[in-house]
Amino acid sequence: MRGVLIDAALVSGTVPGGPRAAGPDVAFDPELPWQRSRSVALRPEPFGALVYHFGNRKLSFLKSQTLVRVVETLADHPSATATLVACDVPEAQRPAYVKALADLSRSSMIELRKAPA
Amino acid sequence: MTAVLPSRPARERPVGGRLIDQFEFGLDAPICLTWELTYACNLACVHCLSSSGRRDPRELSTAEAEAVIDELQRMQVFYVNVGGGEPTVRPDFWHLLDYAIGHDVGVKFSTNGIKLDKARAQQLARTDYVDVQISLDGATAEVNDAVRGTGSFATATRALSNLAEAGMRDFKVSVVVTRENAGQLDEFRALTDSYGAQLRITRFRPSGRGADVWDRLHPTQAQQRDLYQWLLANGDQVLTGDSFFHLSALGEALPGLNLCGAGRVVCLIDPVGDVYACPFAIHENFLAGNVRSEGGFQRVWQHSELFADLRNPQTGGACTKCQHFDSCRGGCMAAKFFTGLPLDGPDPECVQGYGETALAARDLALAPPKSHLDHSHSGPVRGQPTLLGMPALPPAKACDESPLAGLDLR
């Protein structure tokens, strides 16, 4: 019953039981080249960013500045993993970041890049 | 502006942690906001949250409304909930709709359906980035029309047919849950499904004319418990605007944002450009500023004292000592305020029963606060709701009362 006062769907794991991403549930492969979806805008917030998809009208939040940097620079690196390394994400935190990116791909906030960088 | 909140010590925003804790400290711009375009309305619903009816002569002009949209685009407010009054009776409504969409501000508008003929329905079906909500407060004409007025069920369902026929997708049927319709939730689902629409149910608040009928229309405790169970079973198929978070104190938290978003992640712009903390709080105490003032909406959102106050999480008051506080966060600010309860105490509909105790302990010599605004129709309205009985007409001559009036048989 998402509907945050606000009826747009909150898509990334912010609320128990709330997020139910639509779209094909394709496994996220961090070794592939990704980018922020072209119809997505990021709005800076004190804790990270609000993410909005103009196509499916989904709303999500990036809960850290590092995650914002990762999403913004995905397009500059050959893979998601390479982006995490470039953004100095500590090894121990990488699984959490991969999971966050997988959530974002499920809701089409990030998309596969056609031509490799 | 007087301070309305019990004093709250200013605290630092935490780093990391749960989003809900971040939201309590506010955002740089609202996630979305409600924008009431006019106080004019063809109906006279008994529970109208904004006491609408008559247009206010100071309402924003087309140019001023466009300037607000430009500003929302700059602030990256990605969509607005447009309402009223009945927004579609504004002659420039369709222009403003296109203007907003053309400036990356999506629109969801609430309407009673009066203007949604076949041509408008087709126009909407062709438009991307617009959502329509048709208000209906009964799954049957009988229940609906007693609250919204004779013929309003027919108007709404005609609009729903037109939208479905035009191939519009994802439009909503918007229901305020009352004592009269709380037993009709499954019927609402069936009705909504029959048009291929989605059901949205929200909480009834004692705001505007809602205060006059709140005692009579707000759901009973038993109905609230049934509603909670219904939401647990049907919740992911239904939109709620996250308005039922006070029910979370019954056990499992309801999905969504369990937090009062007033002045933190949402707000209201009213037809004259006044910015209030939330659509249910049209009262001087919750007025943060006006979009016409220097610095516009952005300055109000980011720098008003009231909003700064609301962004300090509540740390005191009776509720913070309750084991359920983390679930319900003390409930709805507007519901407390307009029933005359303290803002740091329980919600009048607290499901643990503390609200009833607090209501009983009110000093009845003190009337609950009333909004300074009332745009209700001043004369009779066609099809006027009959919930409160037929309007009394004064007898023109004594004989209208009784054929024997004045007859002295002595």
Q: What is the pLDDT of residues B168-221, one digit of tens each?
A: 988 999 999 999 999 999 999 999 999 999 999 999 999 999 999 999 999 999
Residues A108 and A56 sit within 8 Å (Cβ to Cβ): yes
In angstroms, the separation between the Cα of residue A18 and the nearest Cα of chain B is 5
Sequence letter at residue B99: Y
CB-CB contact of A22 with B258 (8 Å): no
Which residue in the set B31, B255, B266 is minimally distant from A17, CB to CB? B255
Query: What's B362's DSSP letter?
Result: S
For residue range B282-314, list pLDDT tens digits in order. Answer: 999 999 999 999 999 999 999 999 999 999 877
Confidence of residue B396 (pLDDT cuts 50, 70, 90): low
Indicate the helix (H) or strand (E) that contains B400: helix B398-401
Burial code (b: 16+ CB inside 10 Å, e: under 16) for A72-81 equals bebeebebbb
The β-bridge partners of B134 are: B111, B173
pLDDT, position A5 = 40
How far is it, in rounded angstroms, from Cα B202 to Cα B274? 24
Give the CATH fold of the A5-13+30-107 domain. Answer: Outer Surface Protein A; domain 3 (3.90.930)
Residue in B22, B76, B266 closest to A47 by CB: B22
Convert the pLDDT of each residue in B316-331 to its tens digit: 788 999 999 988 989 9
Paired tokens of A57: 């009208």
Q: What ipTM, to 2 d.p.? A: 0.76
- Kindly report the nearest CA distance between residue B270 and chain A, in angstroms: 17
Confidence at residue B176, expressed as pLDDT on a 0 to 100 scale: 98
Does residue B80 register a pLDDT over 70?
A: yes
Cβ contacts of A43 on chain B, cutoff 8 Å: 28-29, 76, 78
| Nearest-5° Cα angle at A59, A54 to A62 | 120
- Residues B234-271 have pLDDT tens digits of 888 899 988 999 999 998 888 777 788 999 999 999 99
Q: What is the mean pLDDT of residues B94-115?
A: 96
Give B31's contacts in chain A (Cβ within 8 Å).
4-6, 8, 50, 59
**Residue A14: pLDDT band with limits 50, 70, 90:** very low
Highest-pLDDT range among A56-60, B27-31, B310-314: B27-31
Q: What share of residues in chain A are helix, strand, coil (percent, to 5)?
A: 30, 20, 50
Q: Count Cα atoms within 13 angstroms, Cβ side, for B372.
A: 6
Q: What backbone phi and psi angles, to 5 degrees, belong to A84?
A: -60, -40
pLDDT in tens, B342-374: 999 999 999 999 999 999 998 888 888 999 999
**What is the pLDDT at residue B216?**
95
How many angstroms separate the Cα of B151 from the Cα of each of B54, B141, B406?
Answer: 20, 8, 40
Q: At B394, is the pLDDT very low, low, confident or very high (cuts 50, 70, 90)?
A: low
B334 within 8 A of B279, measured Cβ to Cβ: no
CA angle B69, B73, B78 (to 5 degrees): 100
pLDDT of residue B390: 59
Local structure of residue B320 (DSSP, 8 states): G
Mean pLDDT score, B379-391:
80
> With pLDDT > 70 as the criterion, what percentage of chain A qualifies?
75
The per-residue pLDDT of chain B, averaged, comes to 91
Among A72, A39, A3, A49, residue whose Cα is nearest residue B29: A49
What phi and psi values does residue B228 have, to the nearest 5 degrees? Answer: -60, -45
CA distance A5 to chain B (A): 4
Tell how many helices (H) and how many strands (E) occur in chain B: 15, 9
pLDDT at A9 > cutoff 50:
no
Rounded-to-integer distance, Cα B242 and Cα B203, Å? 9
pLDDT band at A15 (very low <50, low <70, confident <90, very high): very low
- Are the Cβ atoms of A43 and B76 closer than 8 angstroms? yes
Q: Which residue of B has its CA nearest to A18?
A: B255
